[in-house]
Structure formats: structure tokens, C-alpha cells
Amino acid sequence: MPPFVSVYLDYEPFPHTGQEAFWEACGFRKGPEGWYRSTHVEPHPITGEPRVVSDTPIARHAALVGPAGIGKTMTGTAAMIMNAIEFPSKYLILAPTFQNHMKMTTLPEYEYRLEVMDRQFRRQYKKPLVRRTADGAIFHKTDREINLMPTVPEIPVGSTLFYRGTDDVDYLYGPTLGGIHFDEPGLMVEDAATIGRDRLRAGVGAQQAIYTFTPKGSKRHWTSRDFGPQLAVAMAALERGEIGIGNHPTHPVFTMRAEDNRMLTEEELAERRVRAEQSRRGYQEYHGVWLDEGGLIFEMFNPTDHVRAMPADIRLVRYAGGIDFGLSSPTVVIVVAEDSNGRRWWCREFSRRQCSDLELLTACRKYMDEFPGIRFFADPHSPEWIKRLRQNYAIPVWAAKPDVDARVSIMWEFLAPRVDGIPGIRFTPECVDSIAEVESWSWKPTRSGGGVVTYDDVEPHAHWCDAGGYAMVALGKGVAEPVPCGMVGVRS
């Protein structure tokens, strides 16, 4: 049977970048009508059933690494959708959390890309690509899945794309997959990534795992060990300002720089450069590199140990909220709770740049309904905000103590394992920004060392660490309001 081109890629990768090299590793070639991958149908060597086979090699594992906002998720999205179109099977798209990362970042990319591909598919095949729901939507919101129509006449069954966050690891078990897309795997607990990889089996679908991520914290937090030295080589090239082109036959790694995204304006790039100079987290997000562990304030933090979903039957005995105000920088609200065993749970976060009174009020009211009797402790350098929240909106908020040493010390105390070997604090997976900042907050190079920690020792603009620290200190000093006797868990 002659080679078959199912569909052409609907956008042009940025030329001479890691994005273009990534597409080549996925078996795509550039033709006069765009990027494509030719396939043919042949019988399965064991079952004899017809299956689609690529005429060009496809890397079993492929990673695209680089700064935030340069199109990594979009690239992985397009590649996995093309896999699902051409190789009928079941595919899993996995992100750190469903509510925060999957729903706000990964899923919109897939929905937009599928809408575009559906229009292209209708022009090419005179039929829809996506099996839509009864109300016309492409996304099955209850089952978190999208079904695609078959492309190859010899194979009547199409593909199914399943969407999952790692909020509940047990929800990830299931049948064999033809491919999996890990978006920001560095923020996933190791069990989730292992379960996903174990479901990938040879002989079905595209048989490919795609990883798209911005390095967070230090390299020891990288979830996948499959890449080995290839990841180190590519990251070293990126640190030198080069484009890392992976050449491993099964585990290539490709890197991009912020400047590689031609869609970013000069103003957007300038804003990111400013953030890169303000903190090491900003530096990390702009340059897309891991941080030196020696400069991290919370070096003991590790997502594998410290990130867990809060059990549904947990009994919370105290909780407190922390608020860090910002104008052009984010305004952040954090809720920290303590269970009956004395373990802390960093369980809620809200952040908004140029936050209005209404947005902040809505967030505080939401947490007041969810955590009855909660008190908030806010940035003491913004007394006018505190006064307005208390007098105008009846929010129970007080000024926190401007004590950096207390906030850092109590975090050190609770991040350490207790006698049972379990850390004294856990972060729930939906607190993505908090986790990213806790594992990247760093000392200033001019730190004197020893003694009490001061503002001169730590990087500024640590909004999530500041807000959470206010709540942690309030709980430690016993000034947080206790939960009414007998209350179990929190309100849904």
C-alpha cells in the first residue's frame, strides 16, 4: 500500500530552533504544503489486525525544555494531536493539577488546537475530526475526554484523548496507552509520572511520550530519570546561550530560548528581562535553567516528599490566611491549615496582578465560607489596604509582624521530617505557584551568613513565600482562630 499523508500540520514551527528539531524527531518532514508525516497500514505481526506505521522514525521519548511562555505546551499539544489523528489509540494528557494547570493552561491549548485541526480536517476529508457532545462542545466535561473520528479506512475506530491532573494519583491507572503528553512533569509527584510511563506499551498508537516543561527549582526535582545524560547536555547548551539539539535516538531533548518565540513582542521580552533581574525565579523562567542548589533558601524542599493531596476525611483544628499586597506585582492570598496531628497543610492560593478590591474581597470571602472563623494576617507595609478591608468590607485581617527570620525559621522547622519520617508540612497540588516559589526562593549573593535572617539576606518579591509565611507564623504563635469543635475537614 502506498504511503499515506493523513493531515498536514496547521502551523509553521519557528525555524532553526529546538521547536523545529523537536518536530523532526517526532517523524515529521517539511513539504511544499507544510509539515507532514507519511504512514502506511500493515498487519500486526501477532494479531494480524491492521495497524498504522510511520515511514519515518519517531523518538519514543522526546522533551522540549525552555523558558515560560515560549510555546512548549502548544508544540507538545500539536504533536500529540497529530499522533492521535494518525495512529488510532488511547492517549493521555497529564498535568500537575486539573483545576489550576490542566484547566487553565494545557486544556485550552488542546481545545484551541483541536478546533483549528477540525476546520482543516473538514476541508480535507469533508467530515468532522472531533466527535462532539450533545451541546456541540468538543470536550466531554464529565469524563474529561475528547473522541476523534477515524482517519484510515482500514481502521474504523478513532482515538480518544484523556485529560488528567495528578490531584488523585489513583485516578491515573487504566488500560494501555498509545501515547502520553506530560506537561510540566517537574511539578508532578513521582508516582504520577511512573504510572503514566508504565501505561505506555509498544505495539499500539504512536508509542511516544512527550515532555514539555520549564525547569523549576533544582535539577534533583526532575521527575523522569529516563533521559539521563541527554538532559544534562541540552541544559548545559542552554546555559551557554546555545540551542540544545538532542541527538539521542530514543530520548532526545530540545531546548528553546525566550527570543526563539517570534510571537513575543519586545515589550513582553523586556518585562521578562526585568523579572529575571529581580529574583532567581524570574531568572529561571526567563532563561529556562535549573538553579544551583547551594543558593536555595529551602534546599530541603522536594515535591516528591512535600506535595500531597489533602485527604477527604482530614480533621483540621486550626487555619490562618496570609496576604501579601502588590500593585504591578501580584497580590497573593494563602491559606495554611493544621490537622489534628499537628501537621500543616499549605492548601489554598490566590494571586492576581494589579488586583482590584473586588477581586481580593471575592477571594477572601470564598476562603471565609470554606474555612469558617479564619483570620487573615497581611503585609504590614500596606496599612491602608488592611484598614480598607476591615472597615469597608468586614474582612477579619490584621497586620503581620515584619519578621523575615521568623517566616524562614518556621518553614525550615516544618519542612524537616518528623519522628514518623513524614515532613511537618505538605503542599496540596493546586498550589502550583507556591510550590514553584518555595523551591526557587534564594539567598542574595551578598548574604553575610549566620545569625538572624534579614531582608538584606533574601531575594525580594517573594510574594507567595511572604503570604504563606504570615499564616505559618500566626499558627505558630497561636493567634489563629480555632476551628469550631467537632468540625471535620472543610466545606466543599
Q: Is the dihedral of CA 213, 217, 221, 227 positive or negative?
A: positive
Least confident window among 37-46, 82-91, 213-222: 213-222
What is the chain's mean pLDDT, rounded? 81
Q: Are 296 and 220 in contact (CB under 8 A)?
A: no
The winner for highest mean pLDDT among 166-180, 216-230, 308-322 is 308-322
Distance of alpha carbon 168 from alpha carbon 189, whole angstroms: 11
Q: Give the mean model confidence (pLDDT) for residues 258-287.
A: 81
Q: Are 234 and 253 in contact (CB under 8 A)?
A: yes
With cut-offs at 50, 70 and 90, classify the pLDDT of residue 408: very high
**pLDDT tens-digit map of 333-373:** 999 999 999 999 999 999 988 888 899 999 999 999 999 99
Q: What are phi and psi of 32, to 5 degrees?
A: -65, -25
Q: Give alpha helix (H) positions in 240-296.
A: 266-278, 280-287
Distance of alpha carbon 153 from alpha carbon 150, whole angstroms: 7
- Look at residue 335 in the predicted model and tell me its pLDDT: 97
Equal fold, 4-275 vs 303-476:
no
Q: Are 475 and 318 in contact (CB under 8 A)?
A: yes
Residue 268 has pLDDT above 90, yes or no: no
Dump the DSSP string for 31-96.
ETTEEE-EEEEEE-TTT--EEEEESS---SEEEEE-STTSSHHHHHHHHHHHHHHHS-SEEEEEES
With cut-offs at 50, 70 and 90, classify the pLDDT of residue 492: very low
- Look at residue 380 in the predicted model and tell me its pLDDT: 92
With cut-offs at 50, 70 and 90, classify the pLDDT of residue 490: very low
The larger pLDDT score, comparing residue 133 to residue 176, is at 176
Residue 488 has pLDDT above 50, yes or no: no
The larger pLDDT score, comparing residue 416 to residue 218, is at 416
Q: Where are the domains of the chain?
A: 4-275, 303-476
**pLDDT tens-digit map of 225-267:** 555 566 666 766 666 666 656 666 677 888 888 888 777 888 8
The larger pLDDT score, comparing residue 115 to residue 334, is at 334
At the topology level, CATH places domain 4-275 in Rossmann fold (3.40.50)
With cut-offs at 50, 70 and 90, classify the pLDDT of residue 184: confident
Percentage of the chain lying above the pLDDT 90 cut:
23
- Asked whether the whole model's pTM tops 0.75, one would answer no
The larger pLDDT score, comparing residue 183 to residue 328, is at 183
Closest by CA position to 184, among listed 432, 463, 426, 464: 432
- Look at residue 483 in the predicted model and tell me its pLDDT: 43
Q: Write the CA distances from 385 to 18, 322, 353, 378, 427, integer angstroms.
A: 46, 13, 15, 9, 28
With cut-offs at 50, 70 and 90, classify the pLDDT of residue 491: very low
303-476 placed in CATH 3.40.190.10: no
Least confident window among 87-101, 220-234, 457-471: 220-234
